[in-house]
Every structure is written in C-alpha cells, then in structure tokens.
C-alpha cells in the first residue's frame, strides 16, 4: 500500500487493515472500552488497527439529533486513546478551518462522502501533512474519485485513502457496486470498504436513519474477495443505545468472530 500511517500495528502483516470505533465520541470511558477490545481482537489476528471516532456529527437528519460532547473535549479523548494504546486515530472534518484543529490530535483526517468534491476542504486536509481518507460520494462512480486524489496530491500530500460506502439507490436505500473498489485501486492508493454506512437506509420518514446490520459480514466478505485493502466498521457495546448510527453498527461482542472469518478469506486470495 502506498501510504504511511503512524504507529499502525503489525506493519509486516499481509492482512487487511481495520478502521473501527464508535460513530461519534460519546465519552472517554466508552471509547477506551471499545479501543481495548478492538486491540485485543486485532492483535490476535494481526490486523492493523486505526481507531475511529467523530468528534462532531455535522450531518444529522433532525435538528435535535446528538452531535457531540464538544469538539476539543472529543478530540482530546481521541488523542488520549491514540497515545494510551499506541494506535493511530481517525476523525472526520467538515470545513476547511477544522483541518488544522483536528490534525493536532489525530493521525488521519476523513473527508465525509457528501463533501468529497469540496476542493478547499481536500486541500486544507492535505496541507496538514496527515493521511487523508476520502469517502466516495454516494452519487459518484469509483472512476470519478481520481480527481479527489489529484487535488490532495497536487497540494503536496501523497498519503491518500479512498473509501467506498455504497451508492444511492432510490431515495431511501444504498447499494454496493464492487466495481468501484477495482476502479479506485487503479489510482495506486489503498481502498477501504465501509461495511456499516453502506448498509444505511437514509431519509426515513421518522427522521432516523435505518440500516441492515445483519449484512455487514456479507459486505465485508465480498470486499475482501475483490481486493479491498481495508475495512471500515463502526461498532458499539450496545448499538441500540448508540447516540449516532446505531441502526447500522456491528455489536462489539460480535466483531471478533466476523474478523476471524474475514482473515481466512484474505489468506485464501493471497
């Protein structure tokens, strides 16, 4: 993979890498609980781990939906997780001025799918020198993501990750086209499959996004089979009580068994 992520575990591993954690930073204790369990299982299977948590959720359906515990407070928790467990961390940014702020605390800056064409945001993220992970818009093909890569590299940063998270299918569903993984790998950057957000059912009449978490393993298996370099999975000890995107998360206690099966698939295709 043409990328350098500081402190990533098992650099000599031939495994896929895993980006995992809660959707949003809900508090210190739950982040540490999730991180500790993730490290235990990824160490067991020699899976490089990047801990994920949004310091703020800027894209919520309803005005009264939970957005975060405060930017600086959440970012400091992510920084503490990274330092305590010697693992890299990732969070998403939404506006150009947030890039430098978040970069002071985390190793990887994530560009949300709806913002993947925002030139100023991409350039600002690139100029921090951090790894920049861009989610493919639900409205774009894999081929069209070459321009996001070009914008980041033109700003002097070659550490780019592309992530597929499905394509809009009607008004309230998503579908995964695995050709996108192959197309994006042609840009010589690591490609990740977001196995949880790709199963969202957005724009529900209730104002709460739905999902199909029973299919997370299916999405992940297919992604590994077609050559994805990494997987993205949001997880929580109790998804039903998660403050954001609980409907499409994998329960933390169910994740290890899934990873064990995915590792076997990875071994089979190497």
User: pLDDT value at position 61?
Assistant: 63
Confidence at residue 9, expressed as pLDDT on a 0 to 100 scale: 54
Q: What is the pLDDT of residue 205?
A: 46
Residues with Cβ within 8 Å of 223's Cβ and at least 6 positions away in sequence, in order, are: 164, 178, 181, 193, 195, 231
CB 137 within 8 A of CB 116: yes
CB under 8 A, 24+ apart: contacts of 115-118: 116/140, 116/145, 116/148, 117/147, 117/148
Taking the C-alpha atoms of residue 49 and residue 41, their distance in angstroms, rounded to an integer, is 10
pTM for this entry: 0.92
Q: Are 232 and 225 in contact (CB under 8 A)?
A: no
pLDDT tens track for 36-79: 999 999 999 999 999 999 999 876 566 767 778 999 999 999 99
Low-confidence ranges of the chain (pLDDT < 70): 1-4, 7, 9-13, 59-62, 64, 200-211
Is residue 188 left, alpha or beta, with left meaning phi > 0 and alpha meaning psi from -120 to 50? Answer: left
The pLDDT tens digits of the residues spanning 71-107 come to 999 999 999 999 999 999 999 999 999 999 999 999 9
**What pLDDT does 3 receive?**
66
Instruction: Quote the CA–CA distance of 81 and 152 in Å, as a whole number.
Output: 27
Q: State the pLDDT at residue 104.
A: 98
Domains of the chain are 17-269 (3.20.20.70)
Instruction: Specify whether the CB–CB gap between 35 and 248 falls below 8 A.
Output: no
């Amino acid at each position: 993979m043409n990328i350098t992520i500081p402190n990533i575990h098992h650099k000599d591993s031939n495994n896929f890498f895993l980006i995992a954690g809660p959707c949003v930073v809900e508090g210190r204790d739950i982040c540490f609980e999730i991180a500790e369990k993730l490290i235990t299982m990824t160490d067991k299977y020699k899976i490089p781990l990047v801990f994920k948590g949004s310091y703020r959720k800027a894209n919520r359906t309803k005005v009264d939906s939970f957005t975060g515990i405060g930017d600086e407070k959440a970012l400091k928790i992510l920084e503490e997780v990274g330092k305590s467990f010697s693992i890299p961390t990732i969070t998403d940014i939404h506006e150009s001025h947030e890039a430098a702020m978040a970069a002071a605390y985390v190793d990887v800056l994530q560009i949300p799918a709806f913002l993947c064409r925002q030139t100023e945001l991409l350039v600002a993220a690139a100029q921090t020198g951090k790894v920049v992970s861009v989610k493919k818009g639900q409205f774009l093909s894999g081929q069209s993501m070459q321009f996001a890569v070009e914008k980041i590299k033109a700003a002097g940063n070659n550490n780019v990750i592309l992530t597929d998270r499905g394509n809009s299918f009607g008004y309230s569903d998503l579908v995964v086209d695995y050709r996108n993984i192959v197309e994006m790998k042609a840009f010589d950057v690591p490609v990740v499959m977001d196995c949880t957000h790709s199963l969202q059912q957005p724009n529900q009449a209730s104002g709460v996004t739905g999902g199909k978490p029973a299919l997370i393993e299916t999405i992940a298996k297919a992604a590994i089979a077609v050559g994805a370099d990494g997987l993205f999975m949001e997880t929580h000890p109790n998804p039903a009580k998660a403050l954001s995107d609980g409907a499409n998360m994998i329960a933390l206690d169910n994740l290890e068994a899934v990873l064990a099966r995915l590792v076997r698939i990875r071994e089979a295709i190497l």
